[in-house]
Amino acid sequence: MAETGTVFLVGAGPGDLGLITFRARELIAAADVLVYDYLVHPDLVDWCQPGCEIVYVGKKAGFHAVPQSEIEALLVDRAKAGKQVVRLKGGDPYVFGRGGEEARTLAADGIRFEVVPGVTASLAAGAYAGIPLTQRNTSSSLVLVTGHEDPNKHELQVDWAKLGGLRNTTLAIYMGMSRLPDIMTGLQDGGLDPATPVAVVQWASLGRQRSLTGTVATVADAVTEAGLKAPAIIIVGEVVRHQETVDWFEQLSLFGRRVAITRTREGNSGLRAKLEHLGAEVIELPLINVVPDVDPTLLVEIFSELGTYDWIVFTSAHGVKVFFEQVMRAYADIRALGLLRFACVGDATAREIEKYHLKVECRPEAATAEALADALIATDSLDSAKVVVVTGNLNRDTLVAKLEQEGRAIVDLLPLYRTEKLDLSEHPAAHDFRDKGADAVLFASSSAAEAYAAQGDSLKLGPTATVPQCGSMGPQTSASLRELGLAVDFEAAAPGLDELVTALVTHLND
Ligand code: SAH
């Protein structure tokens, strides 16, 4: 029988991916089974290793997608099968997360478990809505309390009147939105001044955060009017007054904007981070998947003559990575490359080559295959030269044809990876995009535009979705977008992620 696995009850934090712990990330990446819920950021799923079993047990306020007993049975079952199980919960697992119940069940079944704390929602609500939760002279205690969204549950009742009688206290109320008027009345019954300030923070820490402030007397009506709903934290106390002076997050230039970005072989985590740092809600569409695909016979053939080539050409950072992995596996010595000269296209590709302390001698200004071929031809070193082009399975024909015909080089192709279209029909990010649309969608390359268009119905917007403005990295990408029948609403002043983000901010805020 398999050795019993371990269950990790892991806090995923309030939503923003940066607020998850290192330990959580490490455990997700190593998990055999990931069980996660509604309040957990869906992109965390992308950190899982291939083959990880991913189970969504999402709950939304008011109804439970999977009953608690079934979740617990699932954890026990997978652990007994010898799996490493990560049970991810929004915020902290032991703060109104039923983590305690799950831990008890595991303990009773003799299953090993660990608990990884997370940033609980009230802390994020304070930080991201500009409300320090304690303050030396006015607020010396902080009460985390549940407002019981489900009146059918037989749970301990909170004595709101008693809480209303506390002085110098901040209340952080979880799950209180559907009973907000009752809660505010209860606090006043206990003697809380109706003029005490209250803030409501929905989706704290995320680009879709919304907040409002009022008083104990007025906040319930204000929430109804503004349409704020769960998940939200209600903060009651004098500390709310500080928001006017110390709010920072909601002031950011892309706060409240939904921006879709595409993930392609160029990668884009840099773009995502830049947008999120400006307060945007980012929807990352993983359009394609890059898988290593090495033909061993061809590899041996080319590697045995590696020293005889004049130039080696890379078209992506991914190609560089896989190439060096193979070189190191075969030779364990960088000198196997002899006096090869390096050519490449794109910043990320050049950076990857330079990591090995190798100089890139030829790199065109524009990040296109044509420009690369032209730049190489312009070196006047191609006639009868031996060139090896390391690529994937896309966008290589023009490059090779040009080098052979115009440059009169002898070109060998070394494909090391394959780019596959991902089926997005079931992906949560695509679902969100179809449902709500976005204020903008950014295309960082022609291949991103092509991969986006190739998705067809998987990215077709629903009737009430916001139609996004299309932003492009530069003339080349714009040309591809137009060819594909997509609009170009704004373009970066020069190719570069910062320039693309600047163009977006200008376009949306005009
Ligand atoms: N274990 C979680 C709480 C789960 S109870 C934690 O430690 O944060 C669910 C409640 O948490 C929601 O009804 C809401 O009150 C609150 N919540 C969770 N994430 C939130 C967020 N990003 N913004 C505001 N409230 C949030």
Q: Which two tokens stand for residue 294?
A: 């090495």
State the Cα–Cα distance between residues 490 and 481, nearest whole angstrom: 12
pLDDT score of 61 more than 90 = no
Q: Is the pLDDT of residue 1 over 80?
A: no
Rounded to two decimals, the pTM is: 0.77
pLDDT of residue 38: 82
| CB 117 near ligand 1, within 6 Å | no
Q: Is residue 131 over pLDDT 80?
A: yes
Domains of the chain: 6-118 (3.40.1010.10), 123-247 (3.30.950.10), 258-288+423-509 (3.40.50.10090), 293-420 (3.40.50.10090)
Whether 62 shows a pLDDT value over 60: the answer reads: no
Q: Give the pLDDT band of residue 153 (cuts 50, 70, 90).
A: low
pLDDT bucket at 72, cuts 50 / 70 / 90: very high
User: Which residues, at least 6 apart from 484, have a Cβ–Cβ distance to it below 8 Å?
Assistant: 449, 450, 453
Contact 27, 86 (CB under 8 A): yes
Task: Answer whether 41 contacts ligand 1 (Cβ < 6 A).
Answer: no
> What crossing angle do the helices spanning 269-277 and 497-509 adopt, rounded to 10°?
40
Residue 396 — pLDDT band, cuts 50, 70, 90?
confident
- Residue 490 pLDDT: 97
CA of 162 to the centre of ligand 1 (A): 23
User: Where does residue 175 fall: left (phi above 0), alpha (psi -120 to 50 degrees), or beta otherwise?
Assistant: left
Q: Is any atom of ligand 1 closer than 6 Å to the C-beta of 234?
A: no
Dihedral Cα 55, 58, 63, 65, nearest 10 deg? -20
Signed CA dihedral, 71, 124, 230, 280: sign only: negative
What is the Å distance from ligand 1's center to 47 Cα? 22
Which amino acid does the sequence have at 56? Y
pLDDT, tens digit, 9 for 90 and up, residues 238-272: 999 998 888 899 999 999 999 999 876 555 567 88
CA of 459 to the centre of ligand 1 (A): 30
Structure confidence at residue 379 as a pLDDT band (50, 70, 90): very high
For residues 112-122, average pLDDT: 98
What local confidence, expressed as pLDDT, does residue 151 receive? 55
Residue identifier of the C-alpha nearest atom 18 of ligand 1:
121
By percentage, how much of the chain surpasses pLDDT 70? 95
The one catalytic residue in 43, 59, 80, 412 is 59
455 contacts 287 by C-beta, under 8 angstroms: yes
Span 438-452, average pLDDT: 90
Torsion of CA 181, 182, 188, 190, to 10 degrees: -160
pLDDT at 176: 95
Per-residue model confidence (pLDDT) at position 22: 97
Active-site residue, from 16, 32, 37, 92: 37
Nearest CA to ligand 1 atom 5: 96
CA of 252 to the centre of ligand 1 (A): 23
Amino acid at 364: P
pLDDT value of residue 347? 82
Which pLDDT value is given to residue 421?
A: 79
59 catalytic? Reply is yes
Cβ(194)–Cβ(217) below 8 Å: yes
Can 380 be counted among the known catalytic residues? no
CB 403 within 8 A of CB 389: yes
Alpha-carbon gap, residue 437 to 424, rounded angstroms: 15
pLDDT at 201: 98
d(CA 106, CA 13): 22
Can you tell me which residue has the tokens 């490359």?
A: 337
With a 6 Å cutoff on the Cβ, whether 197 touches ligand 1 is no
pLDDT tens track for 183-231: 999 999 999 999 999 999 999 999 999 999 999 999 999 999 999 999 9
| pLDDT average, residue stretch 38-61 | 81
Identify the band that residue 495 occupies on the pLDDT scale cut at 50, 70 and 90.
confident
Name residue 129's amino acid: A
- pLDDT tens-digit readout, 311-346: 999 988 889 999 999 999 999 888 889 899 999 998
Confidence at residue 318, expressed as pLDDT on a 0 to 100 scale: 85
**pLDDT tier, 397 (very low <50, low <70, confident <90, very high otherwise):** confident
| pLDDT average, residue stretch 93-110 | 95
Is the shortest distance between the CB of 203 and ligand 1 below 6 Å?
A: yes
Index of the ligand 1 atom closest to the CA of residue 204: 23
How far apart CA 488 and CA 501 sit, in angstroms, is: 15
pLDDT beyond 80 at 158: yes
Identify the residue whose tokens are 């939200």.
232
User: Is 18 exposed, middle or buried, given 0-12, 13-18 or 19+ CB atoms closer than 10 A?
Assistant: exposed
How much is the pLDDT for 103? 97
> Is residue 201 in contact with ligand 1, taking CB distance under 6 Å?
yes
Provide mean pLDDT across the span 426-436.
Answer: 89
Residues 288 and 420: beta-carbon distance below 8 Å? yes
Token duo for residue 334: 């960088």
Distance 156 CA to ligand 1 centre (A): 19
Does residue 39 carry a pLDDT above 70? yes
Cβ neighbours, 10 Å, residue 474: 22
Given a cut of 70, whether residue 64 has pLDDT beyond it is no
Tell me the DSSP string of 218-253: THHHHHHHHT--SSEEEEESGGGGGHHHH--GGGST
Sheet with 210-215: strands ordered across? 141-146, 169-174, 232-236, 197-202, 210-215
Sign of CA dihedral 396, 401, 404, 407: negative
The answer to whether the CB of 102 is under 6 A from ligand 1 is: no
Query: Strand, coil or helix: what is 426?
Result: coil
Residue type at position 366? A
Q: What is the mean pLDDT of the chain?
A: 91
User: What span, in angstroms and rounded, lies between the C-alpha atoms of 275 and 17?
Assistant: 13
Residue 413 burial (CB < 10 Å; 0-12/13-18/19+)?
A: middle
- Residue 149 binned pLDDT confidence (cut-offs 50, 70, 90): low
The position carrying tokens 């290793």 is: 49
Probe target for ligand 1 pocket from 17, 39, 60, 101, with the most ligand atoms within 8 Å of CB: 39
Mean pLDDT of 385-413: 89
Ligand 1 center from residue 19 Cα (angstroms): 14
- Give the count of beta carbons closer than 10 Å to the beta carbon of residue 83: 20
Question: Is residue 227 exposed (0-12), middle (13-18) or buried (19+ Cβ within 10 Å)?
Answer: exposed
Helix (H) or strand (E) holding 113: strand 112-116
346 φ/ψ sector (left φ>0, alpha ψ -120 to 50, else beta): left
Check if 121 has its Cβ closer than 6 Å to any atom of ligand 1.
Answer: yes
Backbone phi and psi for residue 20, each to the nearest 5 degrees, phi listed first? -90, 155
pLDDT for res 246: 85
Is there an atom of ligand 1 within 6 Å of 96 CB?
Answer: yes
